[in-house]
Structure 1
Amino acid sequence: MKKLIILGLCLFLSGCFELKTPLPQVSYFDLDENFKEKKCKKSINLGISEIRSVAVYENPSMILRKANGEIVASQTQVWIDLPKNLFKKMLLKKFNAECIHTSIPPFSGIKNDFLLKMEILNFDILASGEVEISVFYELSSLKNFEVLKSGIISQKEKGTNVESFKKSLLAVLSNLVSKIRNNS
């Protein structure tokens, strides 16, 4: 009888407590854009070396950079892929629309005019209510194997949503297109 009372009490109390904590809602985001292809008189063949990124961007969480310098990886806002892969996808689409024919390693005997090396330095939501994308680039001639241009391109946009990331990324890519065109 004592066991029945204890069992009944356990069953009764098991409905009163919820020991599970609810999981936070996770939102997934993508950067994608369709570009109209231009008709160009002259196309450029560009080999794109590996696009690298600093270690903090080697996970799909959106990065929040606080005013005190603290960096926080968001657990509820996540990219569908690593930022460098999203960047690469947009870069390939934008360049091909601009008559810059791209190839990626292995180049398989394709004769490229230039080689572009890149590293993503920032891909952040800032405490100031902006997003920032910064990349280091190095453009080399494959005819005489010299570095033609290198530097950092940085773009901030107001807002903290995906559209702000797209605007910032498109501005960086447009800047890269003009630097490549100026050297062809």
Structure 2
Amino acid sequence: MAEEKHYTLSEINEQIECRKGWERRRYEWEMSLIDFVARNVADEPLRETLAMPPSARDEDGIVDDEMHVWGWVPCGYKGLEVTQEFAKEVLADATIAMLHERLTKLKNYVGIYYGAVEDGYRRIYVNYVDEEPELPDYLKDLPILKLQKWEPLMQPKSNFGKWLK
């Protein structure tokens, strides 16, 4: 029977710091890959990705068409292999980044977020205030996008920072 190993507090802290460093490097690599995929993409390829039918998506509503995913995401990046599952997530995150970048130019745009899966799509809600913004032609008539008026939960009572529910 193997003897049980006991670690000192300093050894445990060293292991934790090593793990944090690895997690930070992994996160930076992932963000760099998403940026690489999202950089300098024309409007039509973005529309094609958003318009992919439910039959080309998985149960979470994420694009699962192998040819389409690998057309966007490299199978290796900075010396590391990219798996099919991870490539799908990268494409989804890059799509949101590209969409947000384009929508920030619209008047009254507030932000976007993923909703639940509806009709085979992982719904993307586009939030706005006041008047509904006019979407560019390449983003019109996409079943994955849903415009939603944003209402703050709390309204300012006065200019002195007091809030009224």
* TM-score exceeds 0.5: no
Q: Which has the larger radius of gyration?
A: 1
- In proportion to residue count, which structure has more strand? 1
TM-score, length basis structure 1: 0.24
TM-score, length basis structure 2: 0.26
Larger RCO, structure (CA 8 Å, separation 6 or more): 1
- In proportion to residue count, which structure has more helix? 2
